[in-house]
Every structure is written in structure tokens, then in C-alpha cells.
Structure 1
Amino acid sequence: MLRRVLPILLVACLTTLLLFTIFQRVSWRALPQAVGLGEEYGSLEEADDAANTGSAITVPQADAQEPADVDPNAWRAGGSEGFKEPKVESKSPYPVGQLKPAGSNYTKCLVMPKMTGENVDWVDHELGDLVEAGLLTTAVYGMDDDSMELRPPRNKGNEVMAYLSYIIDFYDDLPDVALFMHAHRWAWHNNLILGKDASLMVRHLSAERVTRDGYMNLRCHWDPGCPDWLHPGAIDRDYWKQEESIFADYWNELFPEAPIPTVLAQPCCAQFAVSRERIRAVPKERFIYLRDWVLHTELSDFLSGRIFEYTWQYIFSSTPLHCPSMSACYCDGYGLCFGDAEKFDYYFELNYHLTGYQKELKLWNEQAETIAQAREQAHGRFSGEEALDVPEVGRNVTLREEITKLEEAMKERREAAFELGRDPRQRAKEAGRVWVEGDGF
């Protein structure tokens, strides 16, 4: 009797173990990945900054995953009141910068911090024509490599140390426009319509807009960072804004003569462009003071870097808020003009549906793979599909068709936007500027 029962019990145990393994795989796949902003924000992400007191920074991931809470459609108003683009006007006391005659060239310098192991060959590969034409130079700071020509005094404060060191080193020999960017080409925080590609942002950036405004955050999207990101002096500590509760303590050290602002806001993530005129509006000694603060602060690299991430706009525009129109940023800043803010919003409506279909297709494929593996492991005798999520037959084909349609529609609108952006009048219109005959971009 025992000999008859043992095989049955063995088969039952093995089947139970197989199903448990399958269910575990399904449940773990359903869990969203937790992304710590301490590892994702800024150019030189730190894997374990909580234990780091500011002596070194690690090699960052080339393409960090987008935090789960970032929504490129977050700015859309919607509702029964109809579309209305949100705007937060920054009132900088600086005058409008003087442009060169229409058709003139502007020189640019791309400033980047680089850790050993990071590859910046994309600059030569993608922007070599601008370099050869003398329109673009680079200033790459080796953060942990003594063999590189440009080196900061210390590898501290993440990208802040490289940015301030460049300004101090080249204060008397600046280009028309300086671009401060991260070393990696692809990043979630780069502009969506430009493929999250840093090289396209450099290529299409309007030096005229930077010269006119003096300071431009290179990220057009508000989320995260706008419209009211930080409240200095907040008592409750927010995991996503770890610098918020300590900001007021350090503000007086950085800006001893300025009152603590109630709100600090601009799009993340420490990538911006500044005109030569605006940089020199700030005394060189001031930048030396700020760098000395970074060198001597006891704050971790993550926290000191995040403090500067939301004060660059104050340093260069003397305003705590910098949340310009997103459609104007794309149009006047990069030459992607959709016609008006509402048409710009429609592009993101298409993107919203595209993202939804892509996520659904990914889930369908994962469910189909789980069923296939279960059958394979059971040698064709598995009959537990009813206990798993079985994907709808043919839904994957429908989803691929919808994705293709949306991608084609978005590509068509993107190409039309680039064409419309060639018209300086349209750029002025979408930026809310008065057009004067003969004005350039």
C-alpha cells in the first residue's frame, strides 16, 4: 500500500512546488521597481550615498531608469473648463540679453563631468560637424582621473564641482553660450520629444533663446521640479526631497544677504545653459565662494548636489522660480513648434495612449511566456492555466497595430513641428515675444 501511495504523494509535491514557483514569478513581475531618487538624480548617481560623506562618487549608469512617479503628461490641465497651459512666470531683474544680427553664428561649449568608465565618444560621433566648424567646443572634467587635462580640485559634490570649476577656470575666456550637461547621452530626464538624446538637445538648442533669457534649464518638462517643488524649512522630511528639510539651514551660508525663499522650483535635473553675459554678471569671486562651500561642507555629495540642483536658477537669474511654458521651451528653445500649446498638448495625449499600449503589450508577452514555460516544465501535461493570467488571444496583434499607428502619427507631427520651427516668427509667437522684422531665432 505504501509503495502505491508514495509515487502519488511525490507527484503531488512536485506539482505544488512547480505552481508555487510560477506564482512567485508572476507576483514578483507585477511589483513595480522601487527607484531611490538618491541613486537616479543628478549626473553622477551614487549607489550608497547614505554612507558616503562626500569623498568620492561612483560610476553612474549610462541610462538610469525613469522614476516611476514621473509623468510627462502631468502638466495637462484637462477637466470641464477646457485646456489651459500652466505657467509660472519668473521675474528676473536682469535685462534681456543682446542678440547678434540675424544669421550670425554663436559659439557653444559643452561642459561635462566624467568618471572613469564613462564614455563620451558620442560627442565626436554625433556632434563632430559642429566641433569641426568651430561652433562647439568641449570641457570634460575628469572627476577621478588625474591623466585628464581638466580636473576639479576635488571629486566632491557631483556635477556641481565640475560646473563651478569650469566657470572659474574659463571666466575670462567664455563662449557665447555654455551648456552644462551630464556625460551620458541617453537619460530619462532628457527631453522626450528629442528622444531623450543629449546630442539632439545640444544640436537643436537655440543660442538666441539662451542669450535673450540669460539662463535656460535644458529640460522642458515640469515633472519633477515644478511648479512648487521645494519649501525651504519644511519640518517633515520627504524621502523624495531629502534636501528640503535642511535647505533653510544652509541657505544663509550660500546666500548670506538674501532672504530664504518660500518656494524653490525649476525642472530637474541639473542640466542648463547660460550666456556669457549672464555668467559674468556674477563676480568670479562669488563662484569661488560657492565652490569653497562645496569643498568644505559636511553634507554628502547627494545632498549638496541636490541643493544646487534647485538653486542654479537663483544663481543665474536671481529668482527662486523658473518654470517656463513647456511648449515655448520646445519651440523657442529647440525649434519644435506645434502651432500652439493645445496642439503641443495633443502630442502628449498621443504619447499617453502609446505608453499605455506598450505597457499592456509588455504584460501580454510576460503572461504568454509564463504559460509557455509552465507547459514546458510540465512536459506538456500542465493543465493549470486557469490558475494563471491567460492573455487574450490575438490581443498582441491588435496592440502592435495600435502602437504602429500612434508612432507614425507622432512622427508626422514631430517632423511638421521641426519644419514650423524654422520660422522665427512662429518661435516668437509661441514664446510670447513681440516679433520684430529681422529678428533671428
Structure 2
Amino acid sequence: MRLSYRVGAAALIIFAIVLIKRHLDLIQDDAPVLQSGWNFGSFTGDSSLSGSSPNNAPSDSSKPKSSKPKLTGDSNSNGYANGNQKDDALASRPIYETTPIIVPNDRIIVMAKLASEDTNWVASDLNEWRNIIYTVDDESASHHTPKNKGRESLAYLQYIVDHYHDLPSTIIFLHSHKDGWPGAWHTDTMAYSNVDSVRALQTDFVQRNGYANLRCQQTPGCPEEIRPFRDPPQPGKTTERVYAQAWVELFNNTDVPEVVAVACCSQFAVSKEQVLQRPLEDYQRYYDWVLNNRLSDDLTAHVMEYSWHIIFGQEAVYCPDAYQCYQDVYGNPYFW
């Protein structure tokens, strides 16, 4: 009888041990696991983990903050037994490779258009470029100029004035026509295509040179389109007759060149660095001149057509060899 009591007691003890062990296992499984949000860059004596949740939600100051987890071997308030251990720990921290952040689409096409013109081709065919298109004859458009003056000139200058402090690296100033004759007669590709010319543009050359005329054929415009002091004036050269006075008003000096020449026709690319070579006040003065001068729309546009290259750092006569121009601007001396 006494033996049966002993066997029963032993069985109860074993059963109790099993229950206690299972209970301890459950407690261990439910224990909170330290999140991996430990900042390897914050090994300072007064730093601690905030009570924020893993998803970076704002912390609740009413909740107690957990203390900084100690590293193995901690024996003082800084979490290091001595200076050598601290140095060893810092040296053993993981080193991660980093990838530099590249601003996407750090280039833009700036364009002027009439409300009646369809420029959807820019976004569909040149979607690797950002774009901003100013409607010059509709003040209800999302981007517009105050009035239709100087053809594309006011839109080009408005972009620079509005975005002087946040310009992308490369800016193309482009007409609203896509391709074809006669609308795009001055575009240097076999199909007179602005899409083809933009796709072929060598942006590294734009960055090196600061300015790139998208037309390489030298006529019209070179070798001496404007002679401000020609006497007597050449018949039909109306832009030439007003250029000297326009120069004084635009550039605020009387150093009018004897000859001004560049291949037409106000389609070009510039770098951010080149734009910033002039202060914002200069572009504001050009903008005010285009907006308020008493010249006709056509004359205003032609004065600017033969001034853009000078504004962007080139000599008054900018007529590079056509083959060299095609090589520099489009990467192929026989591009056209």
C-alpha cells in the first residue's frame, strides 16, 4: 500500500514538472522581441531608444521609455567596459555600401505654343524629358505668358525668371512643331524632326560648352547676319536697323558689336551652370524688354534670335563649321 502511494506521488511530481516547463516555454515565446531599429550611429552615453513603434509613428510621452540595450560586456553607463572595448566595437560596426541619389529627369524642354497647336507629341515621344509648355495666347492655360509678344522669347525668359533657383542641369528651348516641311524647315534632321534632334542631342557637349544651337547649317544667320552700323542700311534688314538700340536696352551698355551672326532659329540647349553665369536681374531685364518694348512681335523675336547665343556666353559671331557642329551637338558629322 505504501509503495502505491510512493508511485502515485512520483507520478504527480513528474506531471507538475511537465506543466511548469510548458508554462515557462509559453512565457518565453510571448516575450517581446527587440526590434532591429537600433541605430548603429548613436553609440553615445546619453542616447536611448524612444518609445516609438516600428513604423516610426509619433511616440507617446506618457509611456515609459525603454533604456538603451546594452552590448555584451557592459559595465558602465556608456555601455563599454573601457576605451579599448569602445574602439573595438566601433571598428566592428558593419559598413554598408551606399548608392548616390540621382535626381530623375534632371533635364527639361521649354516650349511656347498657341492654344490651337497640339503639343501632345512632346510628352509621348520625348517622355524621358520633363517639359513645360507655355500657351502664349490663353491666360487661362496652366502655363501662360502675360501676352503674345516676341513669339517664343517671352516663354523662354519666363521659365528662367520663374525657375532661376531650381534649374535642371540641361534645358532645351524648342519650338512647338514636331516635324515636317515647311513648319520645321529649320530643324536639322532628314525628316525635319524635333524628336530626332532631341534624341540625338549630346548633353555632355551642352555641359562642356554651356550652349548648343540645334541648327548647324549656317544659313540663314551666318556669317554676318547683323551689321548694326551698316551705312547705308541694306534693304530688307529691318532687324539690323533696330539692333544697336535694342542692344543698349538689353545689355545695359554701348559695346555694340560690329557684326552679330548665328545660325537661326531660336532652338537651342543650355546648361544650368551657363544660365547662372548671369544674375537673375539680367533675365528680368530681358523679360521686361520683350514684354514692354515698342517693336513689333516679329522684330522683337528676331532681335532675341540673334542675342540668345550672346546671353549664354558665346561670342557675337557664333558660326562653327557645320560638320564639327554636327559632331559636337549630335555625335555624327554627317547627321543631316
Q: Same fold (TM over 0.5)?
A: yes
Counterpart residue number, 2:319 = 323
Query: Residue 256 of structure 2: which of 257, 260, 265 is its match?
Result: 260
Instruction: Rate the CA distance shift 1:143–1:191 in 2: closer, same or farther, 3 A.
Output: same
Counterpart residue number, 2:110 = 111
Measure the CA separation in 1 of the matches of 2:140 and 2:151: 19
Aligned with 1:123: secondary structure?
Answer: helix
Instruction: Rate the CA distance shift 1:196–1:240 in 2: closer, same or farther, 3 A.
Output: farther
Question: Could you say which structure has the higher helix fraction?
Answer: 1
**Residue 332 of structure 1: CA displacement?**
2.2
Measure the CA separation in 2 of the matches of 1:222 and 1:111: 24
- Mapped contact 2:123–2:131 kept (Cα < 8 A): no
Instruction: Rate the CA distance shift 1:318–1:154 in 2: closer, same or farther, 3 A.
Output: same
Counterpart residue number, 1:145 = 138
Runs of 4+ in 1 over 6 A off after TM superposition: none
* Gap regions ≥5 residues in structure 1: 1-103, 131-135, 339-413, 418-441
Deviations 1:88-114 (A, max 9, x none): xxxxxxxxxxxxxxxx99732110001
**Residue 154 of structure 1: CA displacement?**
2.4
- Mapped contact 1:122–1:185 kept (Cα < 8 A): yes
Counterpart residue number, 2:67 = none
**Residue 239 of structure 1: CA displacement?**
5.0
Give the root-mean-square deviation of aligned CA atoms. Answer: 2.2
Aligned with 2:187: secondary structure?
Answer: coil
- Mapped contact 1:235–1:245 kept (Cα < 8 A): no
Counterpart residue number, 2:186 = 189
Counterpart residue number, 2:162 = 169
- Mapped contact 1:232–1:248 kept (Cα < 8 A): yes
Deviations 1:74-100 (A, max 9, x none): xxxxxxxxxxxxxxxxxxxxxxxxxxx
Confirm whether residue 229 of structure 1 aligns to residue 225 of structure 2.
Answer: yes
Instruction: Rate the CA distance shift 1:207–1:106 in 2: closer, same or farther, 3 A.
Output: farther
Measure the CA separation in 2 of the matches of 1:237 and 1:271: 28
**Residue 252 of structure 1: CA displacement?**
1.2
Query: Which segment is superposed worse, 313-322 or 279-288?
Result: 313-322
Counterpart residue number, 2:211 = 215
Counterpart residue number, 1:121 = 120
**Higher Cα radius of gyration:** 2
Counterpart residue number, 1:157 = 150
Confirm whether residue 295 of structure 1 aligns to residue 291 of structure 2.
Answer: yes
Query: Residue 271 of structure 1: which of 264, 267, 270 is its match?
Result: 267
**Sequence identity percentage:** 38
Counterpart residue number, 1:334 = 330
Measure the CA separation in 2 of the matches of 1:298 and 1:173: 32
Aligned with 1:201: secondary structure?
Answer: helix
**Residue 304 of structure 1: CA displacement?**
0.9
Measure the CA separation in 2 of the matches of 1:258 and 1:177: 31
Higher RCO (Cα < 8 Å, 6 or more apart): 1
Deviations 1:219-241 (A, max 9, x none): 01101111111101224444543
Deviations 1:376-427 (A, max 9, x none): xxxxxxxxxxxxxxxxxxxxxxxxxxxxxxxxxxxxxx7xx9xxxxxxxxxx
Measure the CA separation in 1 of the matches of 2:120 and 2:234: 38
**Residue 302 of structure 1: CA displacement?**
0.4
Pairing 1:89-104 to 2, within 5 Å after superposition: none
- Mapped contact 1:112–1:139 kept (Cα < 8 A): yes
Q: What is the TM-score normalised by the length of structure 2?
A: 0.65
* Gap regions ≥5 residues in structure 2: 1-102
**Structure 1 counterpart of 2:113, which letter?**
K
- Mapped contact 2:261–2:317 kept (Cα < 8 A): yes
